[in-house]
């Protein structure tokens, strides 16, 4: 059977269930001898680059004790090597956690304390495996595997030979498979190894040098659920080495004429000419052919484009256009094509009304008009974000648009969201404040400053800019969340302006200045002489961009109202007030834990111990809540009052204050209580209707 295995077709391999067995070392063939493959005879039509989507194939997932699959790879006859978790079907993109849940191997981590029982998953090796169809491969072609998102570290194995490795959730992986391809029966494996022990909310930012999303290790709004898996698209590119290697574009508006400006540039390999076309649906607005050399050296620059402007939500229409770049041979035949969807807007920044000349600008001017920036802090929809569907993004983004918001801040403790998220923001008029993957840690908030980490952060920033800068919704780049110049470990209550001189911040800023010069780069947020919004410092001119508060110590009409009445901040990039999940969600996910009381003695509520307001009800009312329904209603009313007071106050100060971003948008976990305004199921809490009414007046 082992001798026959190299000749089996993909269909036969699937029928025999051999795909999982191959990586487990159960069969013997192909362990140490790999036949280089040149493929069948070449046809004239094979010169064009072809991209195949691997998600349409039948993938298997297998779990191993660490290093067991490595051992089996080089010792195929080691009969003691058995998978700890037998091969199972898995969809990609998709997480190990979801595959195990679907197979009935683990219980739902959202229920009760089940998340604790899932932590063993982080400490295993996991192998995703698939057979590459023979018909996808052609003579003399280079075959490249491209993975848009792998979380977090491991190896790429083809036909039992390691062809590459990866160790970064934030950048794509591209591996040339050509040298180890066989005439048929090619088996591709992506092996994930255990990730870092701890990257969570409390720690030392200066020690956070593993580039994996931090939030999934536990934050005040999510339990520890450390994803492993393929979180974005996986494709196979087949080419003769003639292709568009890189495509970048930028747009702007000439405010005097109202006409659009566009620049497109990049790098190509082979080919003779590049054709660039801008379309409004089927209507061609402009096209040009230039030499491949000219496109690579200087690109194309267009002015006076007859386009409609792109406006944020509630300000006007959001016209979008298709930019197509085609690489052609000497006879005009198509060799490769890439496209981008673009829009045209102009952004300028001014100091807010009354701000000191030394202050940074926090008043956003879009197409010549000052705009109040209002939105939410966007966190991943799920800790297993590999499994989030397009409709999950649309449901939540629609709520924020309909609420009258025009901004989402993609928070630095998370990940660069999938392409579809930015497409939705383009369509819905939601400007994107995009942060690079750095966040505060409490014990120190100082980014790592060793040369290796600084260079890696620069590479991450360059990758982010390369993949997302064409989106018209993108407003600015930011170094990260709540970074401080506090390497000495002394916790400060305010940011220091010297964070701008941090080598990692300088490096990221240089990337933006070089690769996306039309967009603003912020060192961090909050930023200014004082960073935490508080009553003591109000009226002293210390507040530029501030964070907080996130909770109330008394009724909303008390100190909370006084604070916002004295507000003199130029911008509020993070503030909020808590509420609970709906009664139905609390009961659905409580498991065998009691639903009340909502105190830290109750393990259900202690899962997010930062958010315990049950005692405040008792202080205010002189008694405990009668039941869960009464407490939930009280918390909803409290959140609604607090956020409407804050928003009404800030709106009345515009343009002395440039905007407000609520912490946070949606729940990633069925928290009993936290500061979200959209629940775990993606439905708005009562406060959303109040905010919508206020924005519509």
Q: Where are the domains of the chain?
A: 2-239, 243-342, 357-578+639-696
Output the pLDDT for position 47: 74
Output the pLDDT for position 597: 97
State the Cα–Cα distance between residues 460 and 64, nearest whole angstrom: 30
Per-residue confidence band for 2, with pLDDT thresholds at 50, 70 and 90 = very low
Q: Is 461 helix (H, G, I), strand (E, B) or coil?
A: helix
Say if CB 130 and CB 19 are below 8 A apart. yes
Evaluate whether 2-239 and 357-578+639-696 have a shared fold: no
Helix axes 503-515, 451-468, angle to 10 degrees: 30
State the Cα–Cα distance between residues 551 and 548, nearest whole angstrom: 8
Of 69-78, 445-454, 519-528, least confident by mean pLDDT is 69-78
Strand 373-378 and strand 283-291: the pairing is unpaired
DSSP letter (8 states) at residue 560 = I
496 pLDDT higher than 50: yes
269 pLDDT higher than 60: yes
Output the pLDDT for position 497: 87
Output the pLDDT for position 494: 54
Contacts of 295 (CB under 8 A, 6+ apart): 264, 265, 266, 268, 274, 276
Output the pLDDT for position 1: 32
Task: Over range 530-546, report the average pLDDT.
Answer: 94
Of 67-81, 198-212, 240-254, 308-322, least confident by mean pLDDT is 67-81
24 pLDDT higher than 90: no
Per-residue confidence band for 22, with pLDDT thresholds at 50, 70 and 90 = very low
Q: What is the pLDDT of residues 276-313, one digit of tens each?
A: 999 998 899 999 999 999 999 999 999 999 999 999 99
State the Cα–Cα distance between residues 548 and 532, nearest whole angstrom: 6
Output the pLDDT for position 29: 27
State the Cα–Cα distance between residues 291 and 437, nearest whole angstrom: 38
Task: Over range 354-373, report the average pLDDT.
Answer: 97
Closest alpha carbon to 340 in 286, 277, 290: 277
Of 7-21, 36-50, 638-652, least confident by mean pLDDT is 7-21
Closest alpha carbon to 456 in 170, 221, 236, 196: 170
First to last CA, the chain: 75
Of 196-205, 284-293, 464-473, 492-501, least confident by mean pLDDT is 492-501
Q: What is the pLDDT of residues 120-178, one digit of tens each?
A: 999 999 999 999 999 999 777 899 999 999 999 999 999 999 999 999 999 999 999 99
Instruction: Please name the residue that has the structure tokens 């956070």.
Output: 208
230 pLDDT higher than 80: yes
State the Cα–Cα distance between residues 380 and 219, nearest whole angstrom: 12
Output the pLDDT for position 490: 67
Of 79-83, 358-362, 650-654, least confident by mean pLDDT is 79-83
- CATH 2.130.10.10, domain 243-342, yes or no: no
State the Cα–Cα distance between residues 329 and 501, nearest whole angstrom: 48
Segments of 605-682 assigned E as strands: 659-662, 673-674
Q: What is the CATH number of domain 357-578+639-696?
A: 3.20.20.80
Of 108-122, 151-165, 489-503, 532-546, least confident by mean pLDDT is 489-503
Of 52-61, 75-84, 354-363, 612-621, least confident by mean pLDDT is 75-84
Task: Over range 490-495, report the average pLDDT.
Answer: 59
State the Cα–Cα distance between residues 534 and 567, nearest whole angstrom: 9
Given strand 300-305, what is the order of strands in its sheet? 243-254, 259-269, 300-305
Closest alpha carbon to 343 in 308, 313, 371: 308
Other C-beta atoms closer than 10 Å to the C-beta of 460 total 21
Task: Over range 244-268, report the average pLDDT.
Answer: 97
Q: What is the CATH number of domain 2-239?
A: 2.60.120.260
Task: Over range 642-656, report the average pLDDT.
Answer: 98
Output the pLDDT for position 622: 95
Task: Over range 435-461, report the average pLDDT.
Answer: 97
Output the pLDDT for position 368: 98
82 pLDDT higher than 50: yes
> What is the pTM for the complete model shown?
0.91
Output the pLDDT for position 487: 87
Q: Is 428 helix (H, G, I), strand (E, B) or coil?
A: helix
Q: Which residues of 73-105 are buried (b: 16+ CB within 10 A; e: fewer)?
A: beebeeeebebebbbbebbbbbbbbbbbbeeee
Whole-angstrom CA distances from 566 to 511, 535, 539, 555, 643 are: 39, 8, 7, 17, 16
Phi, psi dihedrals of residue 245, rounded to the nearest 5°: -80, -35
68/288: higher pLDDT: 288
Per-residue confidence band for 241, with pLDDT thresholds at 50, 70 and 90 = confident
Say if CB 439 and CB 412 are below 8 A apart. yes
Output the pLDDT for position 13: 32
Other C-beta atoms closer than 10 Å to the C-beta of 361 total 17
Q: Is 687 helix (H, G, I), strand (E, B) or coil?
A: helix
Task: Over range 348-361, report the average pLDDT.
Answer: 97
Task: Over range 219-248, report the average pLDDT.
Answer: 96
Output the pLDDT for position 352: 98
Whole-angstrom CA distances from 462 to 109, 175, 235, 247, 671 are: 35, 19, 21, 13, 35
Element (H, E) at 643: helix 628-653
28 pLDDT higher than 70: no
Output the pLDDT for position 491: 59
DSSP letter (8 states) at residue 412 = T
403 pLDDT higher than 70: yes
469 pLDDT higher than 80: yes
Say if CB 387 and CB 94 are below 8 A apart. yes
Closest alpha carbon to 386 in 92, 25, 697: 92
Output the pLDDT for position 19: 29
Q: Is 559 helix (H, G, I), strand (E, B) or coil?
A: helix
Per-residue confidence band for 36, with pLDDT thresholds at 50, 70 and 90 = very low
State the Cα–Cα distance between residues 373 and 697, nearest whole angstrom: 16
41 pLDDT higher than 90: no
% of the chain beyond a pLDDT of 90: 88
Output the pLDDT for position 7: 33
């Amino acid at each position: 059977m082992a001798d026959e295995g190299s000749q089996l077709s993909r269909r036969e391999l699937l029928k025999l269930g051999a795909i999982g067995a191959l990586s487990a070392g159960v069969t013997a063939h192909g362990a140490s001898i790999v036949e280089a493959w040149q493929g069948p005879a070449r046809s004239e039509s094979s010169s064009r680059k072809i991209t195949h989507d691997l998600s349409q194939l039948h993938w298997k997932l297998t779990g191993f004790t660490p290093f067991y699959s490595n051992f089996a790879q080089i010792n195929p006859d080691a009969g003691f090597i058995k998978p700890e978790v037998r091969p199972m079907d898995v969809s990609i993109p998709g997480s190990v956690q979801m595959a195990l849940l679907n197979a009935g191997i683990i219980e739902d981590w959202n229920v009760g304390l089940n998340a604790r029982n899932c932590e063993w998953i982080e400490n295993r090796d996991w192998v995703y495996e698939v057979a590459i169809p023979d018909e996808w491969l052609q003579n003399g072609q280079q075959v490249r595997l491209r993975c848009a998102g792998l979380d977090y570290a491991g190896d790429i194995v083809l036909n039992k030979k390691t062809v590459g490795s990866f160790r970064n959730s934030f950048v794509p992986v591209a591996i040339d498979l050509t040298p180890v391809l066989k005439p048929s029966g090619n088996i591709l494996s992506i092996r994930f190894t255990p990730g870092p022990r701890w990257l969570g909310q409390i720690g030392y930012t200066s020690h956070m040098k593993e580039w994996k999303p931090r939030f999934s290790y536990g934050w005040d709004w999510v339990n520890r659920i450390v994803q492993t898996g393929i979180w974005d698209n996986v494709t196979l590119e087949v080419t003769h080495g003639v292709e568009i290697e890189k495509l970048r574009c930028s747009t702007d508006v000439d405010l005097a004429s109202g006409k659009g400006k566009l620049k497109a540039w990049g790098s190509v390999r082979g080919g003779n000419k590049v054709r660039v076309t801008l379309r409004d649906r089927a209507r061609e607005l402009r096209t040009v052919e230039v030499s491949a050399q000219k496109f690579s050296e200087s690109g194309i620059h267009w002015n006076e484009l007859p386009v409609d402007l792109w406006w944020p939500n509630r300000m006007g229409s959001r016209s979008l256009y298709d930019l197509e770049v085609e690489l052609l041979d000497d006879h005009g035949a198509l060799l490769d094509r890439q496209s981008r969807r673009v829009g045209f807007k102009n952004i300028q920044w001014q100091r807010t009304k009354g701000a000191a000349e030394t202050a940074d600008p926090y008043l956003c001017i879009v197409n010549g008009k000052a705009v109040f920036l209002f939105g939410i802090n966007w966190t991943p929809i799920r800790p297993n974000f590999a499994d989030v569907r397009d409709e999950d993004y649309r449901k939540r983004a629609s709520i924020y648009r309909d609420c009258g918001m025009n901004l989402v801040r993609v928070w630095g403790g998370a990940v660069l969201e999938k392409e579809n998220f930015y497409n939705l923001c383009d369509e819905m008029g939601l400007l994107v404040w995009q942060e690079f993957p750095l966040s505060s840690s409490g014990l120190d908030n100082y980014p790592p400053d060793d040369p290796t980490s600084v260079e890696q952060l620069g590479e991450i920033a360059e990758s982010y800019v390369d993949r997302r800068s064409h989106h018209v919704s993108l407003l600015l780049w930011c170094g990260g969340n709540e970074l401080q110049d506090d390497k000495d470990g002394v916790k400060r209550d305010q940011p220091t302006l010297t964070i701008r001189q941090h080598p990692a911040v300088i490096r990221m800023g240089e990337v933006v200045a070089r690769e996306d010069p039309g967009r603003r780069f912020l060192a961090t947020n909050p930023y200014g002489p004082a960073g935490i919004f508080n009553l003591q410092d109000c009226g002293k001119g210390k507040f530029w961009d501030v964070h907080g508060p996130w909770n109330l110590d008394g009724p909303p009409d008390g100190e909370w109202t006084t604070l916002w009445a004295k507000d003199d901040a130029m911008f509020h990039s993070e503030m909020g007030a808590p509420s609970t999940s709906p009664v139905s969600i609390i009961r659905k996910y409580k498991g065998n834990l009691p639903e009340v009381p909502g105190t830290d003695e109750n393990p259900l509520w202690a899962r997010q111990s930062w958010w315990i307001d049950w005692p405040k009800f008792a202080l205010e009312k002189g008694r405990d809540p009668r039941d869960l329904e009464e407490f939930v209603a009280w918390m909803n009313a409290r959140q609604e009052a607090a956020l409407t007071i804050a928003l009404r106050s800030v709106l009345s100060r515009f343009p002395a204050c440039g905007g407000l971003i609520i912490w946070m948008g949606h729940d990633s976990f069925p928290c009993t209580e936290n500061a979200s305004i959209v629940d775990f199921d993606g439905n708005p809490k009562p406060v959303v209707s109040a905010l919508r009414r206020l924005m519509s007046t």
